[in-house]
């Protein structure tokens, strides 16, 4: 095994120097992209291209997505699954591929793949098979990965997602992408490159963790569509609990296949950009590739069927390793795993222990409400805008926060949503906090909104109370209101007196108003607001001032 690792390290060095060479080649393209950006008004795709001709090419995008299955143990061994554990602390003999060890299939991983398949409208194969896919890499000690190449667990699904029309927040269009298949497979280990010591270290904690590979048909045409589809998938997996799908922690990794062609003509040769770990980078990598390939074809060149990497610092893709001639994975059936057989209520044999089998019908019954349905329900139930329903679901915990406020406040949900999204979420983002870390509880916000609703407080004063609540000192909105004397001035006589004082002190402005310049009235209203520290109802101030001036 030591020899294999040494050989692998040698291979890695060669690979990395090719990547570095590629990075330099890629930089030249960035210059092209910058020129293109400057000349964007005149020419859409790079500076040198004829806009109309470039527009005849359209992008074709197909994604392969690896989602780490949410399970306590690995796909074929009982080693624990844990993020950021000390290197090589979660490795069984099987994970390290010691001879004589055998795989034992993790039922939880199978159930997760079935549930994901059902949520994506796939056909679940009652019988699926495991295969060995061979390739040589230091962090793959067996020299092969167990996957499902011939007969995967789920096929022929559909993912429905929505995206904005022309970047307009309030207009959404619904699109679908076909899911070709979902296959169960093992993750590899991790190679950690130490450039200072010029060595590569292997961590096998990740080796053997269960993955679902979702292969999409090439139904998308640009980065924006792919990013929207991935974000929707991410939410679905999280709602199902089948993957945490956190892209920055590597639980959801995307390979983007991109080609360009002229409509009506066959698809072009695809390049594959590997291992993208953010939706934003995915969109950028795809759009970059479409421009790069369009430029090559317009200049009479050919697009190579190659694997590329996205350099997020340079914003470009660079070649990784050649896929010309297609890498031979030498697929073969996995001899140590029998076919995986799934049952439903009808096919379940009478003498079978239900604990020993996976029953598709039981999983179907446990399917939770999917994000698209939840968003629709939120819009109908609370009459909020569709784009707000997206925000509620995209931020972990925000939907529950909103609903908990709505449950106990008298305020209209459409008012609540404004406070939750603009004020609460705005503050959370500013301070890089999650909803669960919010210093303001749903009940405190509900109480504040009730004070507003019952006209005990003005809206500017409510903002002040919000700021105080944000300090997290445990005071209730009513306590803050009393301590800071922020209650609305109810006494009309008192307010009339304040207005009178402002009028007397600002005779010049009063003259202007009387001459017909009504804009100055807003200045006086502002002065009264200042005088009352936001504690007066702006409508009442305006009425009183108008009564006194006209």
Ligand X SMILES: Nc1ncnc2c1ncn2[C@@H]1O[C@H](COP(=O)(O)OP(=O)(O)OP(=O)(O)O)[C@@H](O)[C@H]1O
- The minimum distance between CB 153 and ligand X, in angstroms, equals 15
Chain residue at closest Cβ approach to Mg ion: 64
- The minimum distance between CB 209 and Mg ion, in angstroms, equals 17
- Per CB under 6 A, contacts with ligand X among 309-368 are none
d(CA 453, CA 411): 6
Smaller CB separation from ligand X, 61 or 424: 61
- The minimum distance between CB 181 and ligand X, in angstroms, equals 8
- The minimum distance between CB 144 and ligand X, in angstroms, equals 13
Near ligand X by CB under 6 A: residue from 47, 191, 217, 296? 217
* Conformation bin of residue 84: beta by default, left when phi > 0, alpha when psi is -120 to 50: left
Please name the helix (run of DSSP H) or strand (run of DSSP E) that holds residue 272, with its range, or none.
Answer: strand 271-276
Near ligand X by CB under 6 A: residue from 60, 154, 182, 358? 60
Antiparallel, parallel or unpaired: β 340-341 and 332-333: unpaired
Smaller CB separation from ligand X, 63 or 109: 63
Residue 63 is a binding residue for ligand X (CB under 6 A):
yes
Structure tokens at 296: 């090559």
d(CA 25, CA 57): 24
Number of residues located near ligand X, criterion CB under 6 A: 16
Select the binding partner of residue 388 from Mg ion, ligand X, none (C-beta < 5 to 8 A, by kind): none
- Per CB under 5 A, contacts with Mg ion among 56-75 are 64
Antiparallel, parallel or unpaired: β 271-276 and 316-322: unpaired
Select the binding partner of residue 405 from Mg ion, ligand X, none (C-beta < 5 to 8 A, by kind): none
Starting at the earlier edge strand, list the strands of the sheet with 332-333: 144-147, 131-134, 332-333
Q: x/- contact string, 234-263, with ligand X (CB under 6 A)?
A: ---------------------x-xxx----
Backbone angles phi, psi at 145, to 5 degrees: -115, 140
Structure tokens at 44: 């859409």
- The minimum distance between CB 418 and Mg ion, in angstroms, equals 44
Q: x/- contact string, 372-411, with ligand X (CB under 6 A)?
A: ----------------------------------------
Structure tokens at 148: 């499902």
Q: Where are the beta strands (DSSP E) in 2-126?
A: 58-68, 123-124
Smaller CB separation from Mg ion, 113 or 449: 113
Near ligand X by CB under 6 A: residue from 66, 270, 291, 388? 270
Residue 215 is a binding residue for ligand X (CB under 6 A):
yes
Give the range of 32-40, 82-90, 211-219, 392-400 binding ligand X by CB under 6 A.
Answer: 211-219
Smaller CB separation from ligand X, 306 or 387: 306
Residue 54 is a binding residue for ligand X (CB under 6 A):
no
Residue 267 is a binding residue for ligand X (CB under 6 A):
yes
Select the binding partner of residue 224 from Mg ion, ligand X, none (C-beta < 5 to 8 A, by kind): none
Structure tokens at 288: 């970059």
d(CA 421, CA 381): 18
Give the range of 213-221, 243-251, 454-462, 479-487 binding ligand X by CB under 6 A.
Answer: 213-221
Select the binding partner of residue 60 from ligand X, Mg ion, none (C-beta < 5 to 8 A, by kind): ligand X
- The minimum distance between CB 294 and ligand X, in angstroms, equals 14
Backbone angles phi, psi at 468, to 5 degrees: -65, -45
- The minimum distance between CB 147 and Mg ion, in angstroms, equals 9
Chain residue at closest Cβ approach to ligand X: 62
DSSP for 149-173?
SSS-SEEEEEEEEEEEETTEEEEEE
Which residues 6+ apart lie within 8 Å of 20 measured at CB?
A: none
Smaller CB separation from Mg ion, 310 or 401: 310
Closest by Cα among 245, 242, 221, 236 to 121: 236
d(CA 24, CA 320): 12
Return the SS3 of 247.
helix
Smaller CB separation from Mg ion, 307 or 464: 307
- The minimum distance between CB 215 and ligand X, in angstroms, equals 5
Longest CA–CA separation in the chain, Å: 98
- The minimum distance between CB 267 and ligand X, in angstroms, equals 4
* Conformation bin of residue 421: beta by default, left when phi > 0, alpha when psi is -120 to 50: alpha
User: Residue 174: how many CB atoms within 10 A of its CB?
Assistant: 9
CA distances from 219 to 158, 232, 282, 283 (A): 11, 16, 16, 15
CA distances from 428 to 165, 250, 370, 422, 477 (A): 28, 24, 26, 10, 19
Give the range of 39-47, 214-222, 400-408, 499-507 binding ligand X by CB under 6 A.
Answer: 214-222
Q: Where are the beta strands (DSSP E) in 79-236?
A: 123-124, 127-128, 131-134, 144-147, 154-165, 168-186, 190-194, 199-203, 210-216
Smaller CB separation from Mg ion, 64 or 450: 64
Select the binding partner of residue 29 from Mg ion, ligand X, none (C-beta < 5 to 8 A, by kind): none
Smaller CB separation from ligand X, 151 or 357: 151
Smaller CB separation from Mg ion, 64 or 412: 64
Select the binding partner of residue 298 from ligand X, Mg ion, none (C-beta < 5 to 8 A, by kind): none
- The minimum distance between CB 274 and ligand X, in angstroms, equals 8
Give the range of 216-224, 356-364, 403-411, 423-431 binding ligand X by CB under 6 A.
Answer: 216-224
User: Residue 45: how many CB atoms within 10 A of its CB?
Assistant: 20
* Positions that interact with Mg ion (CB under 5 A): 64
Residues in touch with ligand X (CB under 6 A): 60-64, 215-218, 255, 257-259, 267, 270, 272
């Amino acid at each position: 095994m030591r020899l294999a690792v040494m050989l692998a390290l040698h291979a890695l060095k060669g690979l990395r120097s090719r990547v570095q060479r590629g990075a330099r080649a890629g930089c030249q393209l960035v210059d092209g992209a910058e020129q293109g950006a400057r000349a964007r008004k005149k020419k859409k795709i790079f500076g040198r291209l004829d806009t109309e001709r470039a527009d005849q090419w359209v992008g074709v995008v197909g994604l392969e997505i690896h989602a780490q299955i949410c399970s306590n143990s690995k796909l074929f061994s009982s080693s624990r699954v844990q993020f950021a554990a000390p290197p090589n602390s979660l490795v069984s003999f099987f994970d390290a591929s010691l001879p004589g060890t055998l795989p034992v299939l993790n039922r939880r991983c199978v159930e997760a793949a079935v549930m994901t398949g059902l949520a994506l409208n796939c056909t679940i194969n009652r019988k699926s098979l495991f295969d060995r896919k061979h390739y040589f890499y230091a962090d793959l000690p067996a020299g092969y990965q167990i996957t499902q190449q011939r007969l995967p667990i789920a096929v022929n699904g559909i993912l429905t997602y929505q995206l904005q029309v022309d970047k307009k927040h309030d207009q959404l269009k619904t699109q679908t992408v076909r899911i070709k298949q979902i296959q169960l497979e093992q993750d590899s280990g991790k190679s950690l490159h130490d450039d200072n010591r010029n060595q590569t270290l292997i961590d096998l904690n990740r080796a053997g963790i269960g993955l679902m590979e979702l292969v999409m048909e090439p139904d998308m045409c640009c980065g924006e569509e792919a990013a929207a589809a991935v974000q929707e998938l991410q939410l679905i997996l999280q709602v199902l609990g089948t993957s945490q799908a956190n892209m920055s922690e590597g639980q959801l990794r995307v390979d983007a296949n991109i080609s360009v062609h002229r409509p009506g003509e066959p698809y072009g040769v695809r390049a594959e950009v590997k291992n993208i770990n953010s939706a934003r980078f995915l969109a950028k990598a795809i759009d970059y590739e479409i421009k790069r390939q369009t430029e090559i074809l317009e200049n009479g060149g050919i697009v190579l069927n190659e694997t590329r990497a996205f350099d997020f610092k340079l914003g470009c893709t660079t070649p990784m390793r050649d896929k010309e001639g297609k890498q031979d994975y030498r697929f073969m059936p996995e001899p140590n795993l029998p076919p995986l057989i799934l049952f439903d209520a009808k096919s379940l044999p009478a003498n079978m222990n239900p604990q020993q089998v996976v029953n598709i019908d039981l999983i179907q019954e446990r399917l939770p409400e999917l994000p698209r349905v939840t968003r629709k329900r939120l819009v109908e139930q609370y009459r909020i805008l569709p784009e707000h329903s997206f925000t509620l679901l995209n931020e972990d915990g925000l939907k529950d926060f909103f609903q908990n406020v709505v449950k106990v406040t008298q305020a209209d949900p459409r008012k609540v949503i404004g406070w939750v999204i603009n004020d609460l979420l705005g503050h959370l983002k500013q301070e890089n906090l999650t909803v669960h870390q919010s210093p303001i509880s749903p009940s405190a916000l509900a109480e504040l909104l009730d004070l507003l609703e019952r006209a005990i407080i003005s809206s500017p004063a409510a903002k002040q109370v919000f700021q105080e609540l944000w300090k997290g000192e445990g005071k209730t909105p009513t306590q803050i209101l009393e301590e800071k004397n922020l209650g609305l001035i109810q006494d009309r006589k008192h307010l009339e007196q304040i207005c009178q004082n402002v009028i007397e002190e600002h005779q010049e402005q009063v003259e202007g108003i009387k001459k017909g310049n009504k804009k100055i009235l807003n200045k006086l209203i502002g002065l009264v607001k200042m005088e009352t520290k936001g504690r007066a109802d702006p409508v009442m101030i305006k009425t009183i001032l108008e009564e006194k001036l006209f």
